[in-house]
Amino acid sequence: GPLKPEITITYIAVSTIFFNSGLSLKTEELTSALMHVKLHLFVQIFTLVFFPTAIWLFLQLLSITPVNEWLLKGLQTVGCMPPPVSSAVILTKAVGGNEAAAIFNSAFGSFLGIVITPLLLLLFLGSSSSVPFTSIFSQLFMTVVVPLIIGQIVRRYIKDWLERKKPPFGTISSCVLLMIIYTTFCDTFANPNIDLDKFSLIIIVFIIFSIQMSFMFLTFLFSTRNDSSFTPADTVAIVFCSTHKSLTLGIPMLKIVFAGYEHLSLISVPLLIYHPAQILLGSLLVPTIKSWMVSRQKAQKLTRQPKAPVKV
């Protein structure tokens, strides 16, 4: 189409999001985030081990229902996907959470996903194909790592101007993300061979929202335990990064792994629903999570303050 998403979305849009993040993020915050190994392990294990396994167990129950089997396979592919390269970062930034940790896990998770996601699809669905790891790695490097580094370099020279003017980085990223979702929906539903029954579609939408709510609550519980050592800002990054799944990496990967499948359109439907659903749900929860984080931070500051000596 006239928007040319194969160029504007695949390269320009994703690069813009990460250049934007590189420009807006303080270098010292990004450096300190790299050292937060416990947080990174939690996010990656939850996303790439717990999530797909839990979905597989859940689908064993759903297999006896009349829900379309290809949509159920699509749900499993959602579970196997890596964290997103954009939405989790944008929502973490909107709340005021640990944006640097969100960026690291988004980028690192995407690189892990290039190798692990095809293996998970092979394990859970038995799909195999020759995945061009080199070309996907180079594309991710050029659209994620390079723009982030350039953004950080440019920031050094215009740091004072950025502090004074405070450009609307969050709004720019949100607009770019909206464009990514729009073009992906156009691409899938333009397929004349897509055959959806309404009952299965409604059930899948309900399941997707239920999965997201349950997993967000689960990650919130785990990351706020007394022995977890995570700050409220860390919890925000964990909740979004652990439960979100990549559409920009997921759709091209599905097209590679399921190349030639006549049901590819149906398999990709759950991921197409999951992505806007995670942004919608995340956006609705932003004010609630923000107020929780602020109140929790205030409470922690009060407990750290030394008590005034009592006069006798």
- The residue extents of the domains of the chain are 5-295
In the chain, what are the helix, strand and coil shares in percent, each to the nearest 5?
80, 0, 20
What is the tens place of the pLDDT at every residue in 136-151? 667 767 877 788 789 8
What is the tens place of the pLDDT at every residue in 107-126? 788 778 777 887 888 788 77
End-to-end CA distance of the chain: 81
Residue pair 254/271 in contact by the 8 Å Cβ criterion: yes
Average pLDDT, the chain: 81
Domain 5-295 falls in which CATH fold?
Na+/H+ antiporter like fold (1.20.1530)
Model pLDDT, residue 165: 82
Model pLDDT, residue 133: 62
Compute how many other C-beta atoms are within 10 angstroms of the C-beta atom of residue 37: 8
pTM score of the predicted model: 0.74
> Structure tokens of 140?
């991710």
Q: Report residues of the chain scoring pLDDT below 50.
A: none
- Integer CA distances (angstroms), 162 to 89, 167, 213, in order: 20, 7, 36
Model pLDDT, residue 193: 62
